[in-house]
Chain A
Amino acid sequence: MMIDWFTVGAQALNFIVLVWLMRRFLYGPILRAVEARDERVASVLADATAKQLEARQARDQFEQRDEQLERDRERLLREAKEAAATEGQRLLVAAREAAQIARRRHEESLREAAESLQDTLEERAQAEVFAIARQTLSDLAGASLEERMTEEFKRRLRELDGPARAELEAALTSASGPALVRTAFDLPEAQKAAIEDALKESFSSDAAVEFETTPDVICGIELTCCGLKVAWSIAEYLRALTEGVRELVAEHPHPESEVDAEASVDPTTVGLPDPKEAAAPHGA
């Protein structure tokens, strides 16, 4: 084998030059680029790790916030339910109060209606009794109502006895003024004379008698002297009728039934008081 030592030297030199050239143009740049890429990858990985950490923290925060929101929602719902229950209870109480007020007003209106009905009943009964009495007296005696009332009044005067008669007689005797006879209508002169005669006859008194017409008596004759009074009047019967109706209403507390009961009262069926009681003198 032939070895050209000049070539050997030249090749060794060439190789050394090539080593330098490769270090200069190949290994150095490549290794630097790889190192830069490694750093970049490390940076990117660190950044990704940081972002992952941030994402995890954000997720944890979100979960905590979600749990907080859930707790708030449940709390608000619970509070809303409690508030609704309280409000419902309050509304129920208010509704009950309103219902009680309405019921009281209704009862008031029913009571007023009952009273109104009672007033109407009184008026009707008064009119009916007056008409019945007039018709009855007319049918039975053929005399006028005024005559019958005068006769009845005279009869009462005559039938007075006991302390009542004594008191009236004393009053008529000692009276300084005339005795007052009040009627609901103008008495004929004959009637007036009959009444004066009856007073003189019954009480032996010469007391003057003054006649007065007033609608308060309604239908009747009333003698007043020194605070004592002898009367016969349909108003007494009406008062008795009113008492009877009031007792009937009191026995039926339900408004509707009371109204029904009152509405169905037949004046003719209501028990009238004893005429003697109605004609009894009333102390002043």
Chain B
Amino acid sequence: MDLSPDQIVYWRVGFASLNATILFTWALMLLLTMGAWLITRRLSSELKPSRWQGLLELVVLGIVEQIKAVGLGQAERFLGFLGTLFLFIAAASLGTLVPGFQPPTGSLSTTVALALCVFVAVPFFGIQEQGLGAYIRSYAQPTFLMLPFNVISEVSRTLALAVRLFGNMMSGAMIVGVLVSITPFLFPIVMTMLGLLTGIVQAYIFAILAAVYIAAATRSQQSGSDDPLEPQPVS
């Protein structure tokens, strides 16, 4: 049993290799893009949209609302990054319903890549919002002594993001695999349904944590820490 789809290699040339992680990621990208294109090519501004358009609007506007709820004012600005995070992870989790599908999020390489994206995106949006100097100074808040702790926090939470997602996704797939070998009929179905739930929850958690980190980076200079509703970084 493979613990990671990285180990399923279809083609290798030197350092580069085409493994199941990349292949199923492409498949998901193709599926999401084609689905979005098919539905959005005939969008209407009528008061009663089509069923699929209504579904996509529900998802997109739901994500926008969640981003706003976290505290990011201009939600549309962060929608591309955060919404894609949620959709990709959720689609990878839902893909487990298809026999033979290897969720890319079950690969630590994928989760690390996503966590690194968040790791880069947080200072990117922070610097874009506050400026380079203000963002760097935010690491020395409230005192300069907190600088190493803040840096460690930044790195560790990125690592935690990656490992949390990988662990949940990999464990779900592993449990299903183990149960299939022991009790082939009932428990794998139940665990698959549970895996769907945990996959969606993990997608939500990953996207929300990323939004919270970005919000903390963009708002730390603005309102300080006296706002009780300000989202606090979760590590």
Residues of A within 8 A of B (CB): 1-12, 14-23, 25-27, 29-34, 36-37, 39-41, 44
Contact = CB atoms under 8 A, between A and B. Distances in A.
Contacts of A18: 29, 32-33, 84, 88
Given A18-B32, A26-B40, A34 B57 contact: yes
A40 B45 CA distance: 8
A37 B25 contact: no
B47 A6 contact: no
B17 A29 contact: no
B56 A30 contact: yes
B9 to A, nearest CB: 9
B56 A11 contact: no
B36 interface: yes
Interface residues of B, number: 48
B201 interface: no
5 contacts: A7-B6, A8-B116, A30-B57, A33-B49, A34-B60
A6 B26 contact: no
Contact of B22 (A10, A21, A22, A31): A10
A11 B15 contact: no
Contacts of A41: 47
Q: Which 5 A-B pairs have the closest CB atoms?
A: A11-B113, A36-B45, A7-B109, A29-B40, A26-B36
Interface stretch (B74-82, B140-148, B184-192, B218-226): B74-82
Nearest to A21: B33
Contacts of B49: 33, 37
Nearest to A38: B45
B117 A12 contact: yes
B93 interface: no
B60 A27 contact: yes
B45 A27 contact: no
Given A7-B107, A12-B113, A34-B60, 17 more contacts: A1-B4, A2-B7, A3-B109, A7-B110, A7-B113, A8-B112, A11-B22, A15-B113, A15-B114, A16-B117, A18-B29, A27-B79, A30-B40, A33-B44, A33-B57, A36-B45, A40-B46
B72 interface: no
B66 interface: no
A25 B43 CA distance: 11
Interface string B165-209: 010000000000000000000000000000000000000000000
Contact of B109 (A4, A22, A32, A34): A4
Contacts of A2: 4, 6-7, 108
Contacts of B79: 23, 27, 31
A70 B110 CA distance: 83
A34 B21 CA distance: 35
B111 to A, nearest CB: 9
A25 B109 contact: no
A89 B23 CA distance: 112
A1 B83 CA distance: 28
Given A3-B109, A8-B116, A26-B40, A15 B88 contact: yes
B6 A4 contact: yes
A14 B45 contact: no
A10 to B, nearest CB: 5
Given A4-B19, A18-B29, A12 B6 contact: no
Contacts of B22: 7, 10-11, 14
B107 to A, nearest CB: 7
Given A33-B49, A33-B57, A15 B117 contact: yes
Contacts of B83: 22, 27
Contact of A25 (B33, B88, B116): B33
A90 to B, nearest CB: 71
A30 B84 contact: no
B87 A22 contact: yes
Contacts of B109: 3-5, 7-8, 11
Interface string B55-91: 0110011000000000000001001110111011000
Contacts of A1: 4, 108, 166
A179 to B, nearest CB: 141
B37 interface: yes
Contacts of B81: 19
A117 B109 CA distance: 152
Contacts of B25: 11, 14
